[in-house]
Amino acid sequence: MIFDGHVHQLPDIDPTETREWLDSLDAVVDTEGKTRARYLLSRLMERATASQVSFPATVSTPYVNTIPREQEPWFPGDEHIERRIRAYIRWNAAMMVVRANKAADGIGGHLSTFASSASLYEIGFNHFFRGKDDGTPGDHVYYQGHAAPGIYARAFLEGRLGEDDLDHFRREIGRPGRGLSSYPHPRLMPDFWEFPTVSMGLGPISALYHARFNRYLQNRHIDDTSGSRVWAFLGDGETDEPETLGAISLASREQLDNLVFVVNCNLQRLDGPVRGNGKVIQELEATFRGAGWNVIKVIWGSKWDDLLAQDKDGVLLNQMNTTVDGEFQRYAIENGGYIRDNFFGPDERLRKMVADLSDDELRSLPRGGHDYRKLYAAYKAATENLGSGRPTVILCKTVKGWTLGPGFEGRNSTHQIKKMTKDQILAMRDRLHLEDVVPDSLDADHPPYIRLAKDSVEFQYMMERRKALDGSIPKRTTVARRPLDLPGDGPFAEMRSGSNGQEVSTTMAFTRLLRGLARDEHIGPRVVPIIPDEARTFGMDALFRELNIYASQGQKYEPVDHDLLLSYSESTKGQILEEGITEAGSMASFIAAGTAYSTRGVPMVPFYTFYSMFGFQRVGDLIWQAADMRTRGFLMAATAGRTTLLGEGLQHQDGHSLVLASTVPFVQAYDPAFAYEVGAIVQAGMVRMYGGGPPELTDVFYYITLYNENYEMPPMPDTPGLAEAIVEGLYKFADAPAGPSIPATILFSGTAHTAAREAVAELAEHYDVAAELWSATSYKALREEALAAERWNRLHPSQEPRVPRVAQILADSQGPITAVSDFMKIVPEQVQRFVDDRTFVPLGTDGMGRSDTREALRRHFEIDTGHVVLAVLDGLLADGKVDESVVEDAIARYDIDPEAIDPYLA
């Protein structure tokens, strides 16, 4: 590849010819100037491309529309009717926000985002977005979160929502499932919204991985996704987010020509300009082109075409190229005179070009993003791009607050304005030419919505268009097109049988389970193992050969380890999504797979296994989004525990993700100690999420810690009801040893079971204490059940109080309770309040991690055997069952330094 002058490193085989070309160029620059030289060079490059002379693409093109007027296709719609429909929708969208803020001051909502993007959506609704009414999943459209009022306004015009619905925008309480959520939230409006987008950046990255997951389904012959395009609408300010741009190279690498990003470049974000001193469209063009995307710029409306056609000297183009966005924003709010003087004024040739145009005409030279013909051309080009292997981004220049009037358009404050005076409302009406449907006498506190008669031409047109495109959207459905059978018991039976003397970790056990499930005749192909670049850490590289790594283009090379049994095997039909080092991307894949039951009617079972430290902490917002989106699947938090993961230190050792997990409703968080616990939880999870049932039960996902410490996995005791107890969060693991006389109770989770078991033996031998052992698999589950009971009791004072399950279970135990885990103390403390008749001593790993051996770390964080013994005795001291000397004896026996620094502070 020859680039940027590096040609000097190659031999020149004909210096005379080279000289001639260079001299010609010099002559053009000298006599006709740089603009002409640039023009000629561009023509040469065009010709080279046409002659298949490969040449690296430039990263940016001039500041004009990518599609020239002469290449615009015929517009098949009825311009007039579409303009009317757009005006009605613009009106209703604005009025619903105005009315909402009249009814409830401060309730919020946004006027200007949709105002700038109405045409971007309407072109899609009338001509491109495919619905689901033909029984296929249609297109997957990610609407920009702040444009939600416009989407509701269209649904209203189509008759899907009523006036009362619009009046409950942002007032959802008391109307279960019938309020209109502030933004797209499937959790709140499960029959309407599909994709949450409002946390900036999450929409784009999710859309991108969704397009990729569709290809995965296609290549693996699980579902024909060829009829579905993924459209993602985003703001130009939103492209500041690393999630928005951070994954775009994946889209070209994976040849996702089923993906279209539409960026609403209104040049503004919340506080002010996106790039006041630069040009966001040019910057984005360079970024996307550099990443291999097909970039379509829609900058200027049709009226500019005539001017550009006159631009013989390139002065207009030069002005377009050199005017910065901050100045363009200014032109959006100034009058025609200002534009004449400042944009066209400085150059006589430019001024002459617009001499025939009035100030008003100058002022209304529109931007491309408000020109439906230009937009139609761009969208059509994007859809015809299928087969090129290139994803498309359409960069549309718009005015923020367009048609809302002078107080809104292009103003820095426009994003936040939610109210309109009567004059502003009437001005908007006039601007939209709605005088015939909105009277002067309107009540500004309660401006009317425009509703269409069913026999009006606009209604007929709009509905006919949607019918031709397979029905109204957005619409979320959960009809299983390809149902899933639950797995057989085989893989779980293996978990229950224990490791027969072998020392293994729960991670290794889980890998066996995963392999078993992937081989299962019922659900095997539906299992989606997802791993960021960490399979070897988890011992999952064993699956590479067997399940293969998904690679859309197969494996074009012989892997370096081809002669090994566990070689790095990629294939088009590969099952594993080896995502590389991107936890955000892996989460986006998890969401795409875990929502396929709805987006495609094809339930898939993702197991995303990752470094637990880089889960909730790193991509917590995506996990929150997953919960919003009703994702189903398993998040497997490997290398869990602040002390179990030795050596790696502060930035790796996770002792708090379970605390973070406790903040997300619908997350089923577990901290299992043994393989059979992992098996029981996964098996129950399968049944719960994929076995049918009401959405409040099925629409959850699991968070399960996995450890890398090896020990023997005991077989599952055949106690009746044990599997259910594991799922509920707590069960008795071992009775107290016979002999000693002072009862006590120890709860353990995960790898802390070793210290707990050793402590039982020590307590019996040295302190006459008979401690029983309980495995606490989920404090979150116990707490949530207890909170529900507590709430019920408060609300039903005269009825028999419910006893929280954790209290019922622990009523069978005796003595003070010591709870130990490799996580922070606040994890077991979640249940402490509900057993407050008992002394409760939590032990945990509060503080930042550090590198050392497990023994040293557990001593440091005070969760080793000696500390468990000490904690039990301390509880007994509080209960008056032993005296201080006994506790002091333990401090001495286990060589505990009472003056050691508190690990939380160290």
Q: Which residues bind ligand TPP (CB under 6 A)?
A: 113, 116, 146, 198-200, 235-238, 264, 266, 268-270, 274, 400, 415
| Single-letter amino acid, residue 528 | V
Task: Say how far apart CA 780 and CA 670 lie, in whole Å.
Answer: 8
Minimum CB separation of residue 116 from Mg ion in Å reads 7
Q: Which does 713 bind (CB under 5 to 8 A by kind): ligand TPP, Mg ion, none?
A: none
- Contact call for residue 244 and Mg ion (CB under 5 A): no
Minimum CB separation of residue 244 from ligand TPP in Å reads 9
User: Is cis: bond before 474, omega within 30 of 0?
Assistant: yes
Q: Which is nearer to Mg ion, 266 or 595 (CB)?
A: 266
- Give DSSP secondary structure letters for 180-234: BPSS--TTT-TTT------STTHHHHHHHHHHHHHHHHHHTTS---TT--EEEEE
> Encoding tokens for residue 112?
């200007």
Find out whether 844 and 820 touch, Cβ atoms under 8 Å: yes
Task: Say how far apart CA 593 and CA 616 lie, in whole Å.
Answer: 19
| 667: helix, strand or coil | strand
Q: Which does 200 bind (CB under 5 to 8 A by kind): ligand TPP, Mg ion, none?
A: ligand TPP
Task: Say how far apart CA 825 and CA 806 lie, in whole Å.
Answer: 17
- Contact call for residue 255 and Mg ion (CB under 5 A): no
Q: Which does 617 bind (CB under 5 to 8 A by kind): ligand TPP, Mg ion, none?
A: none
Q: Which is nearer to Mg ion, 268 or 599 (CB)?
A: 268
Task: Say how far apart CA 423 and CA 169 lie, in whole Å.
Answer: 24
β-pair type (503-504, 711-712): antiparallel
Minimum CB separation of residue 82 from ligand TPP in Å reads 22
Burial class of residue 648 (count of CB atoms within 10 Å of its CB; 0-12, 13-18, 19+): middle
Minimum CB separation of residue 905 from Mg ion in Å reads 45
Minimum CB separation of residue 278 from Mg ion in Å reads 14
Find out whether 602 and 223 touch, Cβ atoms under 8 Å: yes
> Encoding tokens for residue 165?
């619905």
Residue nearest to ligand TPP (CB): 235
Number of residues that this document lists for the chain = 906
Find out whether 377 and 72 touch, Cβ atoms under 8 Å: yes
Q: Which is nearer to Mg ion, 396 or 723 (CB)?
A: 396
> Encoding tokens for residue 794?
């408060």
Residue keyed to tokens 């790193």: 618
Q: Which is nearer to ligand TPP, 238 or 654 (CB)?
A: 238
Task: Say how far apart CA 841 and CA 819 lie, in whole Å.
Answer: 6
Q: Which does 199 bind (CB under 5 to 8 A by kind): ligand TPP, Mg ion, none?
A: ligand TPP
Q: Is 170 left (phi over 0), alpha (psi -120 to 50) or beta?
A: left
Minimum CB separation of residue 200 from ligand TPP in Å reads 4
Task: Say how far apart CA 847 and CA 845 lie, in whole Å.
Answer: 6
Find out whether 770 and 745 touch, Cβ atoms under 8 Å: no
Q: Which is nearer to ligand TPP, 268 or 631 (CB)?
A: 268
- Contact call for residue 235 and Mg ion (CB under 5 A): yes
Q: Which does 762 bind (CB under 5 to 8 A by kind): Mg ion, ligand TPP, none?
A: none
Task: Say how far apart CA 336 and CA 357 lie, in whole Å.
Answer: 9
> Which residues touch 631 (CB under 8 Å, ≥6 apart)?
590, 591, 594, 595, 699, 701
- Give DSSP secondary structure letters for 552-584: TT---S--TTTTSTT---EETT--BEEEES-HH
Find out whether 230 and 139 touch, Cβ atoms under 8 Å: yes
Of the candidates 215, 208, 172, 214, which has an alpha carbon nearest to the alpha carbon of residue 192?
172
- Contact call for residue 236 and Mg ion (CB under 5 A): yes
Minimum CB separation of residue 414 from ligand TPP in Å reads 9
Minimum CB separation of residue 281 from Mg ion in Å reads 11
Q: Which does 146 bind (CB under 5 to 8 A by kind): Mg ion, ligand TPP, none?
A: ligand TPP
- Contact call for residue 410 and Mg ion (CB under 5 A): no
Task: Say how far apart CA 638 and CA 644 lie, in whole Å.
Answer: 11
> Encoding tokens for residue 346?
């400085």
Of the candidates 218, 216, 211, which has an alpha carbon nearest to the alpha carbon of residue 195?
211
Minimum CB separation of residue 112 from ligand TPP in Å reads 7
Minimum CB separation of residue 153 from ligand TPP in Å reads 16
| 841: helix, strand or coil | strand
Contact string (CB under 5 A) for Mg ion, positions 256-275, x = contact: ----------x-x-------
Minimum CB separation of residue 419 from ligand TPP in Å reads 17
Q: Which does 318 bind (CB under 5 to 8 A by kind): ligand TPP, Mg ion, none?
A: none
Using alpha carbons only, give the angle 475, 480, 486 rounded to the nearest 5 degrees. 140
Minimum CB separation of residue 396 from Mg ion in Å reads 11
Minimum CB separation of residue 315 from ligand TPP in Å reads 31
- Give DSSP secondary structure letters for 791-807: HHHHH-TTSPPPPPHHH
Q: Which does 270 bind (CB under 5 to 8 A by kind): Mg ion, ligand TPP, none?
A: ligand TPP
Q: Which is nearer to ligand TPP, 378 or 509 (CB)?
A: 378
Helix axis angle for 112-127 and 148-157, nearest 10°, is 50
Q: Which does 113 bind (CB under 5 to 8 A by kind): Mg ion, ligand TPP, none?
A: ligand TPP
Q: Which does 342 bind (CB under 5 to 8 A by kind): ligand TPP, Mg ion, none?
A: none
Minimum CB separation of residue 198 from ligand TPP in Å reads 5
- Contact call for residue 237 and Mg ion (CB under 5 A): yes
Q: Which helix (H) or strand (E) holds 29?
A: helix 15-32
Q: Which is nearer to Mg ion, 268 or 598 (CB)?
A: 268
Task: Say how far apart CA 149 and CA 277 lie, in whole Å.
Answer: 31
Q: Which does 655 bind (CB under 5 to 8 A by kind): ligand TPP, Mg ion, none?
A: none
How many residues interact with Mg ion (rule CB under 5 A)? Answer: 5
Q: Which is nearer to Mg ion, 275 or 630 (CB)?
A: 275
Q: Which is nearer to ligand TPP, 237 or 875 (CB)?
A: 237
Minimum CB separation of residue 866 from ligand TPP in Å reads 46
Task: Say how far apart CA 618 and CA 654 lie, in whole Å.
Answer: 12
Q: Which is nearer to ligand TPP, 130 or 269 (CB)?
A: 269
Q: Which is nearer to ligand TPP, 625 or 631 (CB)?
A: 625
Task: Say how far apart CA 284 and CA 439 lie, in whole Å.
Answer: 44
Task: Say how far apart CA 671 and CA 794 lie, in whole Å.
Answer: 30
Q: Which is nearer to ligand TPP, 236 or 578 (CB)?
A: 236
Minimum CB separation of residue 425 from ligand TPP in Å reads 21
Q: Which is nearer to Mg ion, 399 or 752 (CB)?
A: 399
Q: Which is nearer to ligand TPP, 275 or 858 (CB)?
A: 275
Q: Which is nearer to ligand TPP, 146 or 850 (CB)?
A: 146
> Encoding tokens for residue 265?
């470049």
> Encoding tokens for residue 214?
């569709």
Q: Which is nearer to Mg ion, 148 or 730 (CB)?
A: 148
Tell me which stretch binds Mg ion (CB under 5 A): 9-17, 55-63, 236-244, 867-875: 236-244
List contacts with Mg ion (CB under 5 A).
235-237, 266, 268
